[in-house]
Amino acid sequence: MAGSPRVGVLALQGDVREHAALLSGLGADVALVRRPEELPTVDGLVIPGGESSVIDKLSRTFGMQRPIRDAIGSGLPVYGTCAGMILLADAVLDGIDGQESFGGMDIDVRRNAFGRQNDSFETELDVPALGAPPVHATFIRAPVVDRVGAGVHVLASLADGTVVAVEQGALLGTSFHPEVDGETRFHERFLDRAREFRAAREG
């Protein structure tokens, strides 16, 4: 679609197709990003859910870790869901030996905070920044945010106060998977940031 942002989905591992389909449905020009030279061609990047440790290892194998870190530092909008949020965190409290993140968000996260796959659950979340109705959220081996830095805005928490959606500048992270429920508002928010980034880059 003419005038639509070109956004990438990091396609190393995880639920890549679901994000790509949702973004395409919203009118975005979607690219699957696997190599460093593809990163400068996009106005935003989605890091999908999957296995954070595997995505971390593959990003280093494919030479993507440093370019993604540099892109985040330059202001590229990035949306991470589940494992993607783990990879955006400055600190992973219970990563496997040698696990690293891209960083950029001043948060500490804890992996698999709710248990194993059979402990997955769904709930309704109030997200004031997105308005009504509540967000139907699916948590699958989901992380939680243990610490929120001063520059981080909490978008959503569970009833017990557990933080599950955060935003810092052009970075957005959710513990849950809007892409599996047909919930588009987080992706729309991400696309708004991508449009702003493209406009600023084009001057």
Residues catalogued as catalytic: 82, 177, 179
Question: CB count, 10 Å around CB of 73?
Answer: 11
Show the DSSP H helices in 38-160 as ranges.
52-61, 65-73, 83-88
Among the listed residues 103, 174, 168, 118, the one whose alpha carbon sits nearest the alpha carbon of residue 144: 174
Q: What gap in Å lies between CA 155 and CA 49, rounded to an integer?
A: 19
| Pairwise CA distance, residues 61 & 173, whole Å | 24
CB 71 within 8 A of CB 111: no
Cα–Cα dist 172/79, whole Å: 5
- Helix 16-25 / helix 185-202 crossing angle, nearest 10 deg: 70
Looking at residue 39, what DSSP letter applies?
Answer: G
